[in-house]
Amino acid sequence: MISPELLEKYSAVMKSFGKNDIIFEEGNLPTHYYQVISGEVKMSNYNDDGREFIQGIFYKEQSFGEPPLFLNQKYPANAIAVDESEIFLLSKSNFMKLLEENPKVSIKIIENLAQRLYYKSVMAAEMSTQEPEHRVLKLIDHGIAYFNFKKDSNGYLINFTRQQIGDLTGLRVETVIRTIKALEKKGVLKIINRKVYR
């Protein structure tokens, strides 16, 4: 999103996180701008009985956690490294300075927030009114456009586990498994040794 050169010019530092390390926690106040260099980060909530909801998954060059930073509000979710990951951290004050001095970056930020808002609008409507097959398919099709799914001879490989799909759509694993089987039977996607292709 923001070029590494620019970030370093404003004293951003690179930090490494191990698998399942917490990057920030729900309820805390934001102190930094975060941008993935490598690896995979998820933002998620846990309800009272431990059930997870994944707000989004972020890959290289993507930033996350800006809304509360701009609003001086507590984080509404946790950020966790799904794999070993390297992240740029830029302090809030330096980030704000960067924005003021580089108006074109504001436009980039706007586009990025707009993109995420668009995704959330679509998924909110799906999750509230649509049946499991519709929800799962919408997520997969969005993922093809915006997550880093790779295409091979079988189609796009949906490299999410059934559990992740459930946590992103508000469905339980068993329901996702059954839904994906039903979608395969209908011919809208393929399962080739347990992996899902579209």
Partner DNA sequence: AACACTTTATGACTTAAATCATAAAACAAG
Partner DNA sequence: CTTGTTTTATGATTTAAGTCATAAAGTGTT
Residues 6+ positions from 14 with CB-CB distance below 8 Å: 37, 86, 87, 88, 89
Stretch that binds DNA, among 62-70, 118-126, 143-151, 189-197 (CB under 7 A): 189-197
Which of DNA, its own copies, none is residue 66 near (CB under 5 to 8 Å by kind)?
Answer: its own copies
In the structure encoding, which two tokens stand for residue 18, read together? 């191990």
Residue 181 touching DNA (CB under 7 A): yes
Q: How far is the CB of 85 from DNA (least distance, A)?
A: 16
Residue 176 β-bridge partners: none
Rounded to an integer, what distance in angstroms lies between the CA atom of residue 37 and that of residue 110?
20
- Residue 150: other Cβ atoms inside 10 A: 8
Q: How far is the CB of 175 from its own copies (least distance, A)?
A: 12
Cα-based distances in Å from 94 to 12, 35, 105, 107, 139: 8, 14, 14, 18, 35
Residue 194 touching DNA (CB under 7 A): yes
Q: How far is the CB of 43 from its own copies (least distance, A)?
A: 8
Residue 14 dihedral angles phi and psi, to the nearest 5°:
-95, 135
Which of its own copies, DNA, none is residue 140 near (CB under 5 to 8 Å by kind)?
Answer: none
Rounded to an integer, what distance in angstroms lies between the CA atom of residue 136 and that of residue 28?
32
Residues contributing to the site for its own copies (CB under 8 A): 45, 47, 51-53, 55, 66-71, 73, 76-77, 99, 103, 106-107, 109-111, 113-118, 120-125, 127-130, 169-170
Residues numbered 128 to 157 that lie near DNA (CB under 7 A) are 131-132
Rounded to an integer, what distance in angstroms lies between the CA atom of residue 32 and that of residue 23?
11
Stretch that binds DNA, among 54-62, 102-110, 140-148, 165-173 (CB under 7 A): 165-173
- Centroid of chain to Cα 39: 12
**32 or 135: CB nearest DNA:** 135
How many residues belong to the site for DNA (CB under 7 A)?
19
Residues at the site binding DNA, with contacts judged by CB under 7 A = 51, 131-132, 161-163, 170-175, 177-178, 180-181, 191, 193-194
